[in-house]
Structure 1
Amino acid sequence: MENKIEFLSKKDIGQFLKLADHAFPTEVPVEKTCRHIALSKNDRGIKHLGIRDKGKVVSHVGLYPLKMKLPGAVLGIAGIGAVATYEKYRGKGFMKLQLEYAEKLMNENGYDISWLAGERKRYGYFGWENAGRLMKYSITERTTKGIVTSGYTYRKYSDRIQDLKGIIKIHEKDGIGLKRTFLDYQLLFSRLHRETIIASVGSKPAAYITFMITRWSKENGTVLEFGGDLTALKALFRHVIEKYEFKEIIAAAPAFFNRYNELLASISGYRVLENYGMIKIINLRSMLEKFTGQMSIKVEGLNLKKTMVTFEIPELNQKATLEIGENVKVADKPAALKISLNRKDMVRFLFGLSKLSDEYNLSEKYAPLNVILPLDIYMWRLETV
């Protein structure tokens, strides 16, 4: 057989799903649990790379175009998912070939970063590194005891257009996570093994929670996404625990400041901070430009002394300079202060779990970086590829 990479087409849907079910065996097929990433009649710009043996698709890597909302910008993300190879064909370097080709496509198509959820050792070899901040809140019957649930009607999400439009209105107002089309919403909220409960006032949705019951215990659940009026959301968390008789639900949420932080802290027993995925930097300058709006918000009103720092990834031959002062912008001239790191170390530096002074011994000259870093990026668990 030839190690030839092809773009799979609609006629390969059956073969792709069979391979995916082989690689990710569950009670429900991939077509039902991951409708938003499966090869389908509506590809939404997704690139499905494959290698065949005598016409049979034996290995696959999916490249999923994602757009993340940032203040004043949209970050271009190449999501990697459905990395699968039949067992008898493993160890032949098929994944390496396809991931390298996928990165070529990322550069050609102007992506800023690549994102995936996977094992650090496995994907770290190819340049991805743990990144992003996710806070997990433990919410139990005891921590929600006494919360009043009256005043709302509760129902499961259905395919009714009113339900979906209500969720869309709530989600778009928050502005957290990926940009979604109407079709994206339809696919995400029709994934099997996910439950969405809506709290309404009259016929108007006030809050929603999407969760999944863990396979190893019916007494535990994981919240994948939520949103809405804070009082309604608080009541909805209590309602879900009562209705499903959960001992504990773990709510995954952004670790950076948002309007839900205080609520989640008040109804949880403990919280845990962790990375939420893996990032590979594709275009350093473009990526930093997209984050200047977010960084400018962080320095607003602090009257910081103007500081310029150049970031460099030698292996990519890429440099970018940030000018930090009343706001933050990308400058054209190199600076005297420089952070030169390899690709993976730069991800850790820019997208770490805590402020730089907790992890790095930098001189006072670099103090403004403590204000603007880490860069805040978040993808709801419901959205992940």
Structure 2
Amino acid sequence: MTDVDGPRLATSEEFPEMMELLDRYFAYERGGMRANLPFAYDPEHSDHHAIIVEDGRIVSHIAAIPQTLSTGIEGETVECWGIGGVATDRRYRGNGYMSQLLEFWLDRMDDRDVPLSDLSGNRQRYAHFGYENAGSEYQHILTERSFDGEPSASTAVVGYDSAEHLETLHRIHEAEPHRVVRDLAGSRTVFGQRDLETFVYGGESRANDPAYVSLSRTSRSRTIEEFGGSEAGLETLLSHLLAILDLNELTARVPPWHPLEPVFARHSRFWTARPHRKFRICDLPTLLEAFAGQLEARWLESGRTERGSIELGIEDESDGSTESVRIAYGPDSVSVEPGTERPDVELERRAMTSLLFGMPDRTADLRTGDPFLETVLPLRFFVWASEHV
């Protein structure tokens, strides 16, 4: 008889065996996943990892990494658990272990009122669990030939040195309105990833306009996964990288509304807009309360003077109950209030993600039919690729 233990949290003693499973299917080298994603695979946080053990062997794993997203308003954040490391030993596939582990995490999020979960991966694979494309990013493709001007190396660009540059780069990142919130130690971990290489524009003569780009290390087609700082610094960094690296192309993942986006557009061969992440709305009232400041700021910035309210609701597929929240708005304020369970707009979970976060845009008609929704949506967020779980 098969002896199955789990789903359950991994123990610290099981962490090395768990990492062997993940390295076998993702990194193809011992220590690879931990070195490549140190913020996700921290042996001090085995409680972020759920496993199934069969016949004394760890055969399946899913991680849920708690992260805090800044919504763009000072002091306003939203908790989001990132799902990653979805792996089952090929000899044990077909037993439904992935579904069991994911349900394990969704139940824990529900118990803790976590409003949001995100992941990458196949849309169809995770749609059953309520995940849908959310947000947008531009992917700019730069080449030496597309660069506006002659790329040239610069003595003002140096490789990242933690002792010299960490605090400056951390300050730049923390000034980004949409990001994963991290402390100085978190920035040290992110910039220390094995597969991330960071270049810094700086020096004493340029202390007032520093900038940086962090890009993938591997292959001749590399990707800028995080950047920040001054426009002059970014221009110099791009010119420098295209001059010194033997690249087929350089891709940059950029928030569409970022003030430095025009710099990439100026030098791009072409760019595309694509969904940014996949979200699952786990707790609608908590989510909208967390975004209340962004909702109000965008409404007031528009100068619209209508007054009214709209109630949004998600129908629970399991029991048919409704989770709802009412948003009241006027010329001077916006408030998020408890719902009455009689929503004006009631959608299933994935469609609500489309409405609030904008991609795919199958719900555009709902936004254009209401003055508040067409003004404040889609909600803005961004998880830099350097911190994708």
Q: TM-score, normalised by structure 1?
A: 0.90
Q: Deviations over 1:31-78 (max 9, x none)?
A: 2212121141x32x8521111123221111111110001214110101
Q: CA deviation at 1:27?
A: 5.7
Residue 346 of structure 2 corresponds to residue 345 of structure 1: no
Match status 1:140 vs 2:146: no
Structure 2 gap segments, 5+ residues each:
none
Matches within 5 A, 1:1-12: 1-12=3-14
For residues 300 and 147 of structure 1, the distance between their equivalents in structure 2, rounded to whole angstroms, comes to 44
Answer whether contact 1:47 1:64 (CA < 8 A) is retained.
yes
* Between 128-137 and 261-270, the greater mean CA deviation after superposition: 261-270
How does 1:1-385 map onto structure 2 within 5 Å?
Answer: 1-26=3-28, 29-40=32-43, 42-43=44-45, 46-70=47-71, 71=73, 72-146=75-149, 153-158=156-161, 160-202=162-204, 204=207, 206-213=210-217, 215=219, 218=220, 220-255=221-256, 257-301=257-301, 302-315=303-316, 317-326=322-331, 327-332=333-338, 334=340, 338-353=344-359, 359-362=363-366, 365-385=369-389
**Deviations 1:112-145 (Å, cap 9, x if unpaired)?**
1011111111111111111111111122213324
On the 8 A contact 1:69/1:178 being kept in 2, the answer is yes
Q: Structure 1 238/331 Cα, relative in aligned 2: closer, same or farther at 3 Å?
A: same
Q: Is the 8 A contact 1:113 1:282 kept in 2?
A: yes
The aligned length equals: 376
Point out where structure 1 has 5 or more consecutive residues left out of the alignment: none
Q: Which whole-Å CA distance do the structure 2 matches of 1:140 and 1:319 have between them? A: 48
Residue 264 of structure 1: how far off its partner (Å): 2.2
Over aligned residue pairs, what C-alpha RMSD do you find? 2.4
**Inter-partner Cα distance in structure 2 for 1:337 and 1:122:** 30
Once the two structures are TM-superposed, the CA of residue 3 in structure 1 deviates from its matched residue by 4.7
State the shift of 1:161 in Å: 2.0
Does structure 1 retain, via aligned residues, the 8 Å contact 2:200–2:211?
A: yes
SS of residue matched to 1:80: strand
Aligned-partner Cα distance in 1 for 2:121–2:367: 35
CA contact (8 A) 1:309 1:336 kept: no
Give the residue type in structure 1 aligned to 2:354: R
Shift of 1:237: 0.8
Residues 262 and 33 from structure 1, CA distance in 2 versus in 1: closer, same or farther, beyond 3 angstroms? same
1:177-221 CA-to-partner distances (Å, cap 9, x unmatched) read 101122321221111122111111338481111111454xx2x21
Measured at CA, do residues 365 and 244 of structure 1 come closer, stay the same or move farther in structure 2, by a change above 3 Å? closer
1:174 is paired with a residue whose SS is coil
Give the letter for the 1:87 counterpart: R
Q: 2:22–2:85: 8 Å Cα contact kept in structure 1?
A: yes
Where 2:364 maps in the other structure, the secondary structure is coil
Shift of 1:254: 1.0
Partner-residue secondary structure (3-state), 2:126: helix
Amino acid at match of 2:106: E
Q: Is this contact kept in 1: 2:77–2:290, CA < 8 A? A: yes
1:293 to 1:152, Cα distance in 2 relative to 1, 3 A: farther
**For residues 235 and 259 of structure 2, what CA distance do their matches in structure 1 show?**
13
SS in 1 for 2:385: coil
Question: Using the alignment, how far apart are the partners of 2:288 and 2:130 within structure 1?
Answer: 19
Per-residue CA distance 1:68-119 (angstroms, 9 max, x = gap): 0121411010111111110011110111111111011111222110111111
> What percentage of residue pairs aligned between the two structures are identical?
25
> Matches of 2:88 and 2:367 in 1, distance apart?
48
In 1: Cα distance, 2:85 partner to 2:5 partner: 19
2:285·2:338 contact (CA, 8 Å) conserved in 1?
no
Instruction: Verify the 8 A CA contact 1:151 1:201 in the aligned structure 2.
Output: no
Give the aligned residue type for 2:371: A
Greater mean deviation of Cα atoms: 203-212 or 176-185: 203-212
- Alpha-carbon deviations, 1:315-371, whole Å to 9, x = none? 1630011123333321346498711110111111111148x7x85334965132111
